[in-house]
Amino acid sequence: MSGDILQRLSTLNLNIKHLNLLPHLPRLIPSSLPSPSPTVAASQVPTLFQEPYILSGYRPLKQDWRCYLLSLFQKHNESLNVWTHLLAGPVLLLRWWANVGALGYTLDASSLPLTLFLVSSLTYQFLSVTAHLLQSHSEHAHYFFFFMDYVGVAVYQYGCSLGHYFYASELGWRESYVGLMFLPGAAFFGWLSCAGCCFAKSRYRRPYPLQRKICQLIPTTLAYILDISPIVHRLFTISWTQEPSLHFHALQIASFLLSALFFSFPIPERFFPGLCDFVGHGHQIFHVFLSMCTVFQLEALFQDYARRRDTIVEVFGERQLWWACVSFPALFLCCTLTALLTMSHVSKQLQGKQGRDK
Ligand SMILES: [Zn+2]
């Protein structure tokens, strides 16, 4: 018994000794991890990294990779680009669990498109966070992570298309030419928007010509027009009072259009150069509206799924559901290969440039 008490006292003594070490922990952590260098002005980074009207807050290149990871807690001009999508993921998951509790969910053929929509949303958010957090390491890293960001966008577009087609489309629209060609068309335009963005980024240098925006925006816009067509058809043909999900669909379209506006034009920083470097530039606002669009989509699709889940397999057939869902990883793979191929081309260009600079 006394031995047991002595044992406990010595353990307690040991724990108190450990507690005494706690105030020294902050000193121990910086010694084991590198700390990110202070941010610099636009003129101190290569033109590839300079954003229009953003004059300061750039992270210096060629730091240890861990500095860019730790820059999550540093104030720089990409901080809010990272945090807006980093926080959108948990919000999406919380809304997912709330809807699972309220409306019910079973993992089977009828819920596969809904699951893939969630996977695609989390994928684009994760790849966007990675791109904005790590791209400042080098020119090579900048291209690689932004090409992967474009893969995320294409995958998300296709995830939305699956959700819109299986849960939100009307029979009349599915029997139209657009409806019949919808899924292969959505996969093709998803891939094309990834390929167009990769090509434009690898081909054009700052100051960017109009052709770059055309290469990026035309395939992305065509993909969006097709992906949203079943929703637009339903918004104009079904009474909104009958189906509450239509309010969320209207909100997802409004949020997306606002996000597209802030993606396409450098506002408000164009009118206040240097004042929006850390907070309030257009890309951050684009991220916020895109995240809102995704949350509204989730709400709408969950309601549509809950209303139609008993008839989905009967209407579409289990085989079509599985085929559509097999095409999802296939598109992911095609887009990743396209990004890697473009990256190998860019790597050769960068190596040639380094050779000339020496
Ligand atoms: Zn972004």
Whole-number Å distance, alpha carbon 294 to ligand 1 midpoint, is 15
The verdict on residue 287 lying in a domain is yes
Q: What is the pTM assigned to this prediction?
A: 0.88
Whole-number Å distance, alpha carbon 124 to ligand 1 midpoint, is 10
Q: Which residues are annotated as a binding site for Zn(2+)?
A: 132, 283, 287
Query: 264: burial class by Cβ within 10 Å (0-12, 13-18, 19+)?
Result: middle
The verdict on residue 43 lying in a domain is no
Q: Which residues are annotated as a binding site?
A: 132, 283, 287
d(CA 248, CA 299): 7
The verdict on residue 56 lying in a domain is no
Whole-number Å distance, alpha carbon 96 to ligand 1 midpoint, is 23
Share of the chain above pLDDT 70, in %: 91
Task: Say if residue 35's pLDDT is above 50.
Answer: yes
Q: What ranges in the chain are assigned the alpha helix state H? A: 2-21, 25-32, 65-70, 79-103, 112-134, 139-163, 171-174, 177-203, 210-237, 245-264, 282-316, 318-357
The strand pairing partners of 49, in sequence order, are: none
Kindly report the CATH number assigned to the domain that includes residue 258: 1.20.1070
**Residue 236 belongs to domain spanning:** 79-347
The verdict on residue 4 lying in a domain is no
Out of 3-17, 103-117, 133-147, 220-234, pick the least confident. Answer: 3-17
pLDDT in tens, 299-326: 999 999 999 999 999 999 999 999 988 9
Total domain count, the chain: 1
Q: Tokens in use for 162?
A: 């699956």
Whole-number Å distance, alpha carbon 277 to ligand 1 midpoint, is 15
The verdict on residue 68 lying in a domain is no
The verdict on residue 38 lying in a domain is no
pLDDT in tens, 272-290: 999 999 999 999 999 999 9
d(CA 193, CA 216): 7
Whole-number Å distance, alpha carbon 216 to ligand 1 midpoint, is 14
The verdict on residue 248 lying in a domain is yes
Whole-number Å distance, alpha carbon 27 to ligand 1 midpoint, is 34
d(CA 268, CA 286): 12
The verdict on residue 14 lying in a domain is no
Contact call for residues 68 and 133 (beta carbons, < 8 A): yes
Q: Which residues contact 110 (CB under 8 A, 6 or more apart)?
A: 305, 309, 312, 313, 321
Whole-number Å distance, alpha carbon 131 to ligand 1 midpoint, is 8
Dihedrals phi, psi of 86, to nearest 5 degrees: -65, -40
Whole-number Å distance, alpha carbon 129 to ligand 1 midpoint, is 8
Q: Tokens in use for 187?
A: 């996969």
Whole-number Å distance, alpha carbon 283 to ligand 1 midpoint, is 6
